[in-house]
Amino acid sequence: MSHIAITIQVGPEQTDLLIAQLSAAGFEGFEEQPDLLIAYIPEADFNEVVLKDVLAPYGVAYTQETIQQVNWNALWESNFEPVQVDDFCGIRAAFHPPFSPTPTYEIVITPKMAFGTGHHATTSSMIKLMQGLSFTGKSVFDFGTGTGILAILAEMMGAAKLDAIDYDEWAVNNTMENIAANNTHKIRVWQADSLDAVTATYDIVLANINCNVLLHFMADMHRLLQPGGILLLSGILPSDEEQILAAAIPVGFSLQKKIEKDNWLAMQFVA
């Protein structure tokens, strides 16, 4: 699958907010360089009108090019950075040295297009919320699994049943690779772009996606949870919090806690 790369001339003081806005518009990954931001989106999802609307307030120039799949792995590998949450969990690629000191859980992934260097705050905040929960013997659903990081961590933390989906075939294949690489065996992963076919119920649902998807599937995520089940959400801007609450509370969720990091918000709800 080809992607569109948008190179934007923008200073570092504006980069974080712009990444958040482009992510909400469907961009999946970001490469930060001095006074430049390169944003990537599947070619089929690219809408130049939406892009121009996002960039208009910044008054910045941009260029556009198509990136073929054959060039993608080297690009992500060159920009992937390890993620560590306290001494609890570390995520690194095989070409990075092990963490020292070793965290409680260490996940080694092959970074492909499903993981974006601009999304570390959303991943780390989800992990931070997971740190406060017991996964022992629990059933878990990972909605928009990406590289499978959160599902893999949930199994390491003792989850008994794990299902995971992603709309992107490459992400599903990458997740399968990472499941095997981390010696995890309980995760079932498949390709899907909705929750319509998911009929099981779970103790915990994980969803690190983007605000529009979360809003659209809020009722479905509540349906997937057993009474008293926990929903963890990320990929949310602080300015989107009111929308998330307005969608979550009417379908039966109650907010338990939230974490904000680098202009990203993660939220924990109970069904």
pLDDT category of residue 221 using cuts at 50, 70 and 90: very high
pLDDT category of residue 130 using cuts at 50, 70 and 90: very high
User: Residue 119 pLDDT more than 70?
Assistant: no
Task: Give the pLDDT confidence score for residue 117 in this predicted structure.
Answer: 41
pLDDT category of residue 72 using cuts at 50, 70 and 90: low
pLDDT category of residue 6 using cuts at 50, 70 and 90: very high
Q: Which residue has the tokens 């299902």?
A: 163
φ and ψ at residue 163, rounded to 5 degrees: -120, 145
Q: Please give the torsion angle defined by the CA atoms of residues 110, 79, 211 and 255, in that order, rounded to the nearest 10 degrees.
A: 70
Task: Give the pLDDT confidence score for residue 232 in this predicted structure.
Answer: 98
Shortest CA distance to 17 belongs to which of 265, 211, 237? Answer: 237
Residues 166 and 262 in one domain: yes
Interatomic CA distance for residues 66 and 181, integer angstroms: 31
Residues 63 and 163 in one domain: no
Task: Give the pLDDT confidence score for residue 118 in this predicted structure.
Answer: 44
Examine the fold and report which residue of 26, 45, 67 is the final residue of a domain before the chain moves on. Answer: 67
Mean pLDDT in residue range 27-50 = 86
Alpha helices in 119-265 (DSSP H): 120-131, 149-156, 169-181, 211-216, 218-224, 241-248
**117 lies in some domain:** no
239 or 223, which is more confident: 223
φ and ψ at residue 29, rounded to 5 degrees: -155, 160
pLDDT digits (tens, 9 = 90+) for 227-271: 999 999 998 888 899 999 999 999 999 999 999 988 889 999 999
φ and ψ at residue 101, rounded to 5 degrees: -70, 160
Domain encompassing residue 172: 132-270
Task: Give the pLDDT confidence score for residue 237 in this predicted structure.
Answer: 86
pLDDT category of residue 82 using cuts at 50, 70 and 90: confident
Examine the fold and report which residue of 14, 39, 67 is the final residue of a domain before the chain moves on. Answer: 67
Burial label for 124, CB within 10 Å (0-12, 13-18, 19+), is buried
Residues 144 and 36 in one domain: no
Could you give the angle at which helices 169-181 and 149-156 cross, rounded to 10 degrees? 30
Residues 150 and 262 in one domain: yes
CB distance 113 to 28 below 8 Å = yes
**263 lies in some domain:** yes
* 90 contact partners, CB below 8 Å, separation of at least 6: 82, 83, 84, 99, 102, 103, 105, 106, 107
pLDDT digits (tens, 9 = 90+) for 192-216: 989 999 999 999 999 998 888 999 9
User: Residue 115 pLDDT more than 80?
Assistant: no
Q: What is the pTM of this model?
A: 0.79
Residues 136 and 242 in one domain: yes
105 or 117, which is more confident: 105
**Cα angle: 261, vertex 253, 123; to 5 degrees:** 25
Mean pLDDT of the chain: 89
Domain count, the chain: 2
Residues 136 and 265 in one domain: yes
Task: Tell me the chain's radius of gyration from C-alpha atoms.
Answer: 18
pLDDT category of residue 42 using cuts at 50, 70 and 90: confident
Quote the distance between the C-alpha of residue 13 and its chain's center.
23
Q: Which residue has the tokens 């076919």?
A: 197
For residue 215, CA distances in Å to 49, 66, 108, 173, 223 come to 22, 30, 31, 27, 14
Interatomic CA distance for residues 59 and 54, integer angstroms: 10
